[in-house]
Amino acid sequence: MKTIVMLSGGLDSSIVLALAAKNGLGPIAVHYNLPFGLYGDKENFRSSAKGITERLGVPLKEVFLGEDFIEMIKAPAHGRGKNFNPCIDCRIFNFRNAKKIMSDEGASFIMTGEVLGQRPMSQHKQALRMIEEGAGLEGLILRPLSARRLPVTIPEKEGWVGKELLLDIHGRGRKRQMELAEKLGVRDYPMPAGGCLMTDKGFSRRIKDLAGFKPDFSVEDASFLSIGRHFRISPVFKMVAGRNKGENEKLLEMARPGDIIFNIENVPGSLGVGRGEPKEEDIRLGAAIIGHYSDIDPDSEHPVLCKRHGDSGGERVTVVPASEKELSAVRI
């Protein structure tokens, strides 16, 4: 017997993985990485997924979502939640991927940590049924944490899983899950949060801005959303400023030919990467923003080196650091 366990690395899916391993279901964990990089707590969830599979001795398959995923989120057939989240289409997309892995691995069904009523858009009975049908997995998705409140699945009918796996948890509370995690020895999981990146208000503002000004955005464009401070300087020019040395270095790694690099000279501070076709005043504002996030006198002029990535030379633009009012006008 083999089963695919869709593992976010959070509390609920980690419990399900532990239950599957304890009951000899031959779990293979599948962890999805969004094409936006590791924003916010996502790095903690990925680390948790790796940690629990290592402790349980369970194989882990990481799936890096790419252009197909980007095309799906641009125009989701079932709409979005209150932010940018196309939850139903996203779940269908991921279950279709899991179905292929299930076939490739010779597994019999799929298990998830979904809890009835926990997420308003995708975890009510009608949505769960719609997702199963859309993925072509009717009866083959077992949600053990809420199984007693849901229609009986094929694994239950066939006796592949014991009744001790089937619980009746529902709603947004996590008390029962935390008690169960303690019994199963599931520890060091990230604290339950608000869901995936596209339900995050701050991240949603970034991706809405990108989709609004560049509807044909790519994975490469989306990867910039995960790092730094974001500024929409003009309809055709956007800049990202690093928050620290590590982000400055990462931005340089992610920059591509033609991007504008903003680098303040001789003092510690932020590095900026601008993408698009800026006018002269856009360059000056970008330089002033970098000045604001650097260790210089806020009332004094200072040169900022601005150059196309990959080019030698560049232009030194002398600016006074941007004010809070100027930042607020363009901050995403």
pLDDT tens per residue, range 294-309: 998 989 999 999 999 9
Position 192 scores a pLDDT of 64
Position 38 scores a pLDDT of 54
Share of the chain above pLDDT 90, in %: 80
Are the CB atoms for 304 and 265 separated by under 8 Å?
Answer: yes
**Per CATH, is 3-194 categorized as 3.40.50.620?**
yes
Position 138 scores a pLDDT of 97
Q: Which regions of the chain carry the CATH code 3.40.50.620?
A: 3-194
What's the pTM value of the predicted model, to 2 decimals?
0.87
Picking from 62, 43, 16, the residue whose alpha carbon sits closest to that of residue 193 is: 43
Segments of the chain scoring below 70 in pLDDT: 37-43, 192-195
Residue ranges of alpha helices (H) inside the chain are: 11-22, 42-56, 67-74, 87-105, 125-135, 154-157, 175-184, 201-213, 219-223, 245-254, 280-292, 324-330
Position 240 scores a pLDDT of 97
Count of CB atoms within 10 A of residue 237's CB? Answer: 20
Position 24 scores a pLDDT of 95
Position 194 scores a pLDDT of 56
